[in-house]
Amino acid sequence: MSIEVNAITKTYGTQKALNNISFSVKPAEIVGFLGPNGAGKSTMMKILTTYINPTEGEAKVNGHKIDTNKKEVQSSVGYLPEHNPLYSELYVREYLKFNADVYNVSKQRIEEVIELTGLTPEAHKKIGQLSKGYRQRVGLANALLHNPDVLILDEPTTGLDPNQLVDVRNLITTIGQEKTVFLSTHIMQEVEAMCDRVIIINKGEIVADKYLNELRKGQEQTVIVEFDYRVEEAFLLKLPKVKLVKNTHGFIYEITFSSTDDMRSYVFDFAHDNELKILQLNQKNTSLESLFRELTN
């Protein structure tokens, strides 16, 4: 496993920023860590990069324990902190060289990361002269310098304009072909654009952990149906592939199926066969966006 988190809790004073969190990330996965502001994303990332210690629990990055093997953890991870702090007075190449010296990274590797992150035309400029998109690339180049196996990126695309956003997303997707990427965001479209998997965190607790292809395949779907009079839930449970029936209000029912077929036609046939009248029949939106809203509201 690239990342293993086991029952981590972090308290700031009396506040629990993380409450007994566990998950793991496999090599070469791109995992989105999605949650509203204040959910605990940055706290988790600072723990995994050894910047702060958890109050309880343990974690490993690339097989190294964050408490006893900090050095090994740091050489396994590339970290782009939130707000990407950079020295605006330094030139891009000079800044990277400065950090490269800390890690004993070769001159050749500096040129490699400049090329990889598309910084070649800007590398002679001062960081302060760059657009936000290019500054994010400098942050990514910096995180990649020591060629770590795992990248931890805290809101890497926040504050970028739509064009920069697409460029930086593409760059992260490219990097993610070879490395494990754990990135945080509060935007669900971001996860849909870049990630294999999403872990949703809310108020310090994990509320969902799903692979996007499973979400997309819609292995589970919910149909909303309104009849013109009351129908027993038990009766609706006779529908094929039905998992759950809920009477939401009046004569409206939410029926959840485990199937990839469009189950509305089965509901229609069922109603017809049983002489029930349908007033409305819709598929409920089970996109990532609605999942996120449901889980974090």
Minimal distance in Å, beta carbon 38 to Mg ion? 8
One residue of 7, 12, 115, 233 binding ligand ADP per CB under 6 A: 12
Q: Which residues contact 215 (CB under 8 A, 6 or more apart)?
A: 198, 286, 287, 288, 291
Task: Work out how close the CB of 97 gets to Mg ion at its nearest, in angstroms, rounded to a whole number.
Answer: 29
Cβ partners under 8 Å of residue 192, min gap 6: 212, 288
Q: Is 190 left (phi over 0), alpha (psi -120 to 50) or beta?
A: alpha
Residue corresponding to tokens 């027993």: 232
Distance CA 12, CA 77 (A): 25
Contact in structure between 14 and 44 (CB atoms under 8 Å):
no
Q: What is the nearest approach in angstroms of Mg ion to the Cβ of residue 9?
A: 18
Q: Is 217 helix (H, G, I), strand (E, B) or coil?
A: helix
State the binding partner of 43 from ligand ADP, Mg ion, none, CB within 5 to 8 A by kind: ligand ADP
Sign for the CA dihedral angle at 69, 75, 80, 85 comes to: positive
Window 27 to 46, contacts with ligand ADP (CB under 6 A): 35, 37-43
Q: Among 181, 106, 187, which Cα is nearest to 150's?
A: 181
Rounded-to-integer distance, Cα 208 and Cα 201, Å: 7
Q: What is the DSSP letter of 275?
A: T
Decide if residue 17 touches ligand ADP (CB under 6 A).
yes
The set of residues, in sequence order, having a beta carbon less than 8 Å from that of 154 and lying 6+ positions away, is: 41, 42, 45, 79, 80, 81, 82, 183, 184
**35 vs 156, beta carbon nearer ligand ADP:** 35
The verdict on 60 binding ligand ADP (CB under 6 A) reads no
Task: Compute the least distance from the CB of residue 43 to Mg ion, in Å.
Answer: 8
The upper half-sphere exposure of residue 257, i.e. CA atoms within 13 Å in the direction of its Cβ, equals 22
Residue number, 110 or 191, with CB nearest to ligand ADP? 191
User: Smallest distance from the beta carbon of 261 to ligand ADP, in angstroms?
Assistant: 38
Q: Kindly tell me which of 55 and 69 has the beta carbon lying closer to ligand ADP.
A: 55
Please compute, for residue 222, the number of CA atoms within 13 A of its CA located in the half-sphere on the CB side: 16
Select the binding partner of residue 38 from ligand ADP, Mg ion, none (C-beta < 5 to 8 A, by kind).
ligand ADP
Name the minimum Å distance from CB 187 to ligand ADP: 13
Q: Does 14 bind ligand ADP (CB under 6 A)?
A: no
The stretch near ligand ADP (CB under 6 A) out of 9-17, 210-218, 221-229, 268-276 is 9-17
* Site for Mg ion, residues 11 to 50, rule: CB under 5 A: 41-42
Stretch that binds ligand ADP, among 10-18, 59-67, 90-98, 265-273 (CB under 6 A): 10-18
First to last CA, the chain: 32
Residues 53 to 82 in contact with Mg ion, rule: CB under 5 A: 82
Q: How many chain residues touch Mg ion (CB under 5 A)?
A: 3
Under rule CB under 5 A, residue 185 binds Mg ion = no
Does position 218 bind ligand ADP by CB under 6 A? no
Site residues, ligand ADP (CB under 6 A): 12, 15, 17, 35, 37-43
